[in-house]
Each structure stands twice: as C-alpha cells, then as structure tokens.
C-alpha cells in the first residue's frame, strides 16, 4: 500500500492511495477517511485498488483505513 500527496495548491492538496493486494477471488476494497471532521467512504471493485481524495486546507491530516472484503457467492 502506498500513499502520495500531489497537486499542491494554496487551497489544499490531493491524496492518492494505491493498494497492491492481488486478489485470487473477487473482493471489494472500501476506504474510510476523515476530512474536516467528517468520515467518508469510497469503494472500488477493480484491481489495482486506487483512490484519489481532495483535501482542502493544509492544517488537516489524512487518516484513513482500508478494508478487504471478500464477495461471498452462494450456490
């Protein structure tokens, strides 16, 4: 897993999160993150798992958590 900061401007920045888990079965990867004291969630089903988030203001940290959820199929 890697995290990069890009597109610095006077208003804030973008965070790029890249998760290289190679699934052998279908999975979805939600990412919970906090911006401006608000928890938000993004989800992706496509490998490689990538997220781009805009963060306004430089005083903010970027806490986040990734989850790997297996898609269970029943016959």
CATH of the domain at 65: 2.60.40
Residue 32 placed within a domain: yes
pLDDT in tens, 18-35: 887 766 777 788 999 988
Question: What does the alpha-carbon distance between residue 31 and residue 23 come to, in Å, rounded to a whole number?
Answer: 17
Residue 21 placed within a domain: yes
Position with higher pLDDT, 70 vs 32: 32
Residue 75 placed within a domain: no
Question: What does the alpha-carbon distance between residue 14 and residue 16 come to, in Å, rounded to a whole number?
Answer: 7
CB count within 10 Å of CB 55 equals 17
Residue 61 placed within a domain: yes
Domain range holding 52?
A: 2-70
Average of per-residue pLDDT across 8-14: 80
The count of structural domains within the chain is 1
Q: What is the pTM of this model?
A: 0.71
């Amino acid at each position: 897993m890697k995290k990069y900061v890009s597109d610095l401007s006077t208003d804030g920045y973008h965070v790029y999160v890249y998760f290289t888990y190679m699934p052998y079965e279908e999975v979805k990867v939600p990412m919970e993150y906090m911006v401006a004291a608000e928890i938000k969630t993004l989800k992706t089903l496509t490998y490689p798992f990538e997220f781009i988030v805009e963060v306004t203001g430089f005083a903010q940290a970027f806490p986040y958590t990734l989850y790997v959820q297996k898609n269970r199929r029943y016959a």
